[in-house]
Amino acid sequence: MNQQPICELAELAAAVPDGAVLVVAQDNCGVSMAATRELVRRGVRGLHLVCVPISGLQAEILIGAGAVATLETSAITLGEFGPAHRFIDALRKGRIRMLDATCPAIHAALQAGQKGLPFIPLRGLIESDLLASRPDWKVIDNPFSPGDPIAVLPAINPDIALFHAPLADRAGNVYIGRRRELLTMAHASKQTFVTVEAISEQNLFDDAKLAPGVVPAIYVSRIAVAKQGAWPVGLPEHYGADDAAISRYVHSAKTEEGFRRYLDEWLNVEEVTA
């Protein structure tokens, strides 16, 4: 509920406190790698990172940089580019608390957060080791049908939702189109920070065709312009992933030292180019 949501990228990143519960989206929804870089640069620590419902390079880099204390996700994958070395290494060394989930559980718990419900039931899960490894999940008897066990998940209410979008306006409305999980993230979170490709001088609600794909300003605390802000990840319908850059990352991150070298270089990039 910020009247002047548009700010500098560094200011946006500075407003993410250490220890925050930060929720991010998967690669095809708009990933703010620009803000991620600023977070690493400012040395953020102790994040509880929630991925909706999975993550790739963004989580991998935050983990490698030592920013993450707890990771809640259904997967960390760089797809065909290879293993997420820093994620795997952190798990092996016990550096992060791992909350393995399944995609619909993260969606449902976030929807519970959106609705202000303390918990939400969900099918599936029963007798899996996922459920066994999650002391925060329970199984109850369906109150309407005794003898029907069902998992219940506590709501997820992140401190901050962070994503990258193509367009915002000066009032703070953000265009997300079909990427509706971004809306759910914004609703469930106390604050929403967004990087965008561009700022529209026209209010997005003034175009009846755009309005259905908008996150309303009331949910949006900060917006920073970051051209190619998803790079090296892509922004669907706008630009693709930079395969060469991601490949080079995966190759570098095989070792801690290689990762550090990559990071130094990445933090020093002046202008992002795809």
Partner 1 sequence: MNLDYSRAELLVAVIARLLEGCRHVTVGASSPIPGAAALLRRDLTQGAMRVTILGSNRYNAYTNGGVETFDMAAQGRIDAFFLGGGQIDGQGNINLVGTGRYPASDVRWPGSFGSAYLYYLVPKVILFREEHTRRVLVPKVDFISSPGVSAPGVYRPGGPYGLLTGLAWFSFDKQKQRFRLESVHPGHSVEEIRDQTGFEFDCPDEVPFTSAPEPAILTLIRGRIRNEIAETYPRFASTFAN
Residues 29-88 that bind partner 1 (CB under 8 A): 29, 52-54, 73-77, 79-80, 84, 87-88
* Residue 73 partner contact from partner 1, a second copy, none using kind-dependent CB cut-offs of 5 to 8 Å: partner 1
CA end-to-end distance (rounded Å), the chain = 33
Cα dihedral value 104, 98, 77, 9, nearest 10: 90
In this chain, which of 69, 103, 152, 225 binds partner 1, going by CB under 8 A? 103
Minimum CB separation from a second copy for residue 69, in Å?
22
Minimum CB separation from a second copy for residue 164, in Å?
17
Nearer to partner 1, 146 or 268 (CB): 146
Rounded distance, CA 186 to CA 114, Å?
8
Rounded distance, CA 215 to CA 241, Å?
24
In this chain, which of 1, 10, 117, 267 binds a second copy, going by CB under 8 A? 117
Of 12-20, 214-222, 246-254, 264-272: span binding partner 1 (CB under 8 A): 214-222
Sign of CA dihedral 35, 39, 41, 42: positive
Does 91 interact with partner 1 (rule: CB under 8 A)?
yes
Rounded distance, CA 194 to CA 213, Å?
15
In this chain, which of 14, 98, 225, 245 binds partner 1, going by CB under 8 A? 98
Does 121 interact with partner 1 (rule: CB under 8 A)?
no
Minimum CB separation from partner 1 for residue 4, in Å?
11
Does 126 interact with a second copy (rule: CB under 8 A)?
no
Rounded distance, CA 244 to CA 239, Å?
14
